[in-house]
Amino acid sequence: MFNHRYALRETGQNLRRNWLLAFATIITVGVSLAMFGSFRLFQIAVDSATERWKDGIEFVVWMNPDVSPTEDQAILNQLQESPGVANWVFVDQFEAYEEMKVFFADSPELVEEIVPEDLPPSYRVVPVDPDLDVVQELGQQFDGLPGVRDVVFAGDAIRDVQGLADRTGRVLFIGSIFLLCASTLLILNTLAIAITNRRQEIEIMGVVGATKWFIRVPFMLESLVQAGLGALLAIGSNLLLRAYVIDSFSDADAIRLLSGFRVDDGAMLSTNLLVLAIAGVVSLLGAAGAVTLYLDK
């Protein structure tokens, strides 16, 4: 019959005997999973931020919150008369407020401080020709007109953000893969040392009739504890990343361009669950390798 107390006691003793190597393993697992979590969270945030630029929208004409009907009509007439404009979508202050409530669902205190009248309405413009030079020339026709607050181009900002996110994501993803491989080898090495140190005891247990699983479980639990603690470090890193880096894009200078740069609670939960799952796989691979190479001989 399997003895849970024995397995837990032996797991604790193994960790204490090789605490320095176990500590290094936990840190390596944590760093690798934190890099993977950062990669995924930034991809989610960028996808959310670029949502408003879908369907061919290449630039946004932001109007002043207090734009007069005459000024607004002048911009509308120019959009209608311009041969370079294929289509446009007008977002009024109430729609901008509703959009902001979605973007900042995790920051209700920010939403409470703003009323629809504080937000600028906008025209989101789809040009006939998406060429960057043509789009900029078209958008500059609206820049500086009465009632216009700013003109923001997708080519100037969103593509740069997407490019930077893609490059950063590749570095984080590749780095996390290498470190996860190193973590697996560290777990294997830690268990190999534990098995070697207890070789005589293990042989005696086999002679008196202990099953293979009775002998294996403490080492497998040791692997699981190391990977699990590393995953908890990574989850803490993910929470800090969202709180102090990703959410900081809601400052005044970035709010019009990247107001959707966020990670909601659902995406955060799925990322952390994925981190735990990867930690379980790393634990399983490390333990399987150690048991196969050093225990089942």
Q: Do 234 and 183 meet the contact criterion of CB atoms below 8 Å apart?
A: no
The reported pTM is 0.64
d(CA 226, CA 33): 13
Task: Please list the residues that pair with 85 across neighbouring strands.
Answer: 127
For residue 245, give Cα distances in angstroms to 144, 230, 237, 238, 251. 33, 21, 11, 10, 11
Please state, in angstroms and rounded to a whole number, the distance separating the CA atoms of residues 52 and 154: 10
Which helix H or strand E contains 291, and what residues bound it?
Answer: none
First to last CA, the chain: 24
Q: Which residue has the tokens 């607050």?
A: 149
Nearest CA-CA partner of 203 in 138, 295, 131, 118: 295
* Confidence bin at 4 (pLDDT 50/70/90): low
d(CA 36, CA 180): 10
Cα dist from 254 to 49, 84, 111, 119, 277, whole Å: 11, 28, 16, 14, 35
Q: pLDDT (tens digit, 9 = 90+) per residue, 29-77?
A: 899 999 999 888 888 887 777 666 665 667 889 999 888 999 999 999 9
CA distance 284 to 87: 55
Residue-wise pLDDT for 128-173, tens only, equals: 887 777 888 888 899 889 999 988 887 656 667 667 777 877 888 8
* DSSP structure class, residue 64: P
pLDDT at residue 52, as a whole number: 61
- Write out pLDDT tens, residues 214-245: 667 777 888 888 889 999 999 999 999 888 87
pLDDT in tens, 238-285: 999 888 877 776 553 444 455 567 787 888 999 999 999 999 998 888
Count of CB atoms within 10 A of residue 226's CB? 29
Q: What is the pLDDT of residue 266?
A: 84
Return the closest-CA partner of residue 165 out of 44, 254, 57.
Answer: 44
How confident is the model at residue 19, as a pLDDT?
Answer: 75
Contact 60, 123 (CB under 8 A): yes
Q: Describe the crossing of helices 158-197 and 4-17 by its angle, rounded to 10 degrees.
A: 100
C-beta separation of 130 from 138 below 8 A: no
Rg (CA), the chain: 28
SS3 sequence of 192-260: HHHHHHCHHHHHHHHHCCCCHHHHHHHHHHHHHHHHHHHHHHHHHHHHHHHHHHHHHHHCCCCHHHHCC
State how far the Cα of 249 lies from the Cα of 272, in Å rounded to an integer.
22
**In the numeric block, which tokens belong to residue 245?**
């880096």
